[in-house]
Amino acid sequence: MTMARTPSVAAAFADSWTTTSADGLAIRLYAWKSNRGGRPAVLWGHANGFAAGAYTALLQDLSATMDVFAMDLRGHGGSGDPGPDYDRAMVADRFAFDLMAATRSIRQRLPAWPLHFAGHSVSGIGALRMGAVFGHAPFVSITLFEPPLAPSPDHPLHAEAALLGEGLATRALRRKRVLPDPESFAASLAPRPAFDRWRPDMLQDFAIATLTPSPDGDGWRLRCPPEAEAAIYRMTMDTSTFTALGAFRRPILFVESDPEMQGVAPSWAAKAQGAAVLRSPMGRLARIDRTSHMMPFERPEAVVEIVHAAVANS
């Protein structure tokens, strides 16, 4: 098994453990300390380059009314690093297999109560592929905040998605790899355009969860290597998940941001949600106004409200 790393969620909020995916990689999971059983449960997935701990304040709010679980994607947070051949290790199927392993492990702790999935950005691809391609649908409802589903080549959005996806991959490789500490990292981001819309506690959680002390003692390093982040951006150009959506007959709520809002990086994902809904037999569309692709950090209260409603109406 490729070894897990230290948790991205503080022990004060959640217990953590690992499970093993199909290729032997350790996947880090979290169970909120307020979990008690007897109520609906949600498994939360995070965005590319982030970690479960980046959403701590949001998940704390969710935990008031439901049991909360979370996972770190491969190469992120406390999960194992599958490098150095990230393009081979970060293909879409791997994210689906990781989520299957995570769900099985959570079910051992939660054998009877309804389990829902909610995820931001790339984590949604694993949930959709698990059901649409592999026919595995363990969730009562699925709520996805802008999964970056590249439409098929015959769709007008395909060329734009391909161009921006490659641009994001190139941008990821230019990231600063060593930073002084999480506090100064957050302080440096706070005044920048787009980051200045993030709720301050969410920005702090992000900085803490996505950095880890460097083994060389020269500062703090990104938990997700830039090469892994870039490989995932290239993975999102795989159109086979989008094409397979017609086979996935489960309630799916696709949540788009405001297409007029500019985020931390250019995104085509907001434009793709309507196309995904049209391909999904039980798909629905919602929008959070005044947000970009980083909506969980800009308006976490609206994200929590949507998850609550999706669970209550399922």
Summarize pLDDT for 206-258 with one digit per residue, the tens. Answer: 999 999 999 888 899 999 999 999 999 999 999 999 999 999 999 999 999 99
| Least confident range of 119-123, 127-131, 257-261 | 257-261
Residue 51 has pLDDT above 90, yes or no: yes
What amino acid occupies position 162?
A
Once rounded to an integer, what is the mean pLDDT over residues 119-133? 97
Quick one: 34 exposed, middle or buried, by C-beta within 10 A (0-12, 13-18, 19+)?
Answer: middle
- What are the residue ranges spanned by the domains of the chain? 14-312
C-alpha span between 278 and 275 (Å, rounded): 5
Q: Which pLDDT belongs to residue 219?
A: 94
Binned at pLDDT 50, 70 and 90, residue 2 comes out as low
> What radius of gyration, in Å, describes the C-alpha atoms of the chain?
18
pLDDT at 270: 85
SS3 category, 234: helix
Beta bridge pairs of residue 44: 70, 118
Scored b (16 or more CB within 10 A) or e, 252-281 reads bbbbbbbeebebbeebbbbbbbebbbebbe
Q: How far apart are CA 258 and CA 4, in angstroms?
A: 37
pLDDT of the residue at 9: 98
Whether residue 68 has pLDDT greater than 90: yes
Tell me which architecture the domain covering 14-312 has in CATH: 3-Layer(aba) Sandwich (3.40)
- Each residue's pLDDT tens digit, 176-186: 989 999 999 99
The confidence score (pLDDT) of residue 216 equals: 84
Residue 248 vs residue 266, higher pLDDT = 248
Name the pLDDT band for 73 (thresholds 50, 70, 90): very high
Question: Is pLDDT of 75 > 60?
Answer: yes
The least confident of 26-35, 99-108, 151-160 is 151-160
Q: What is the residue-averaged pLDDT of the chain?
A: 94
pLDDT of residue 110: 83
> pTM of the predicted model, to two decimals?
0.96
- In this predicted structure, the answer to whether residue 191 has a pLDDT above a threshold of 90 is yes
Which has the closest alpha carbon to 275: 174, 194, 163, 154? 154
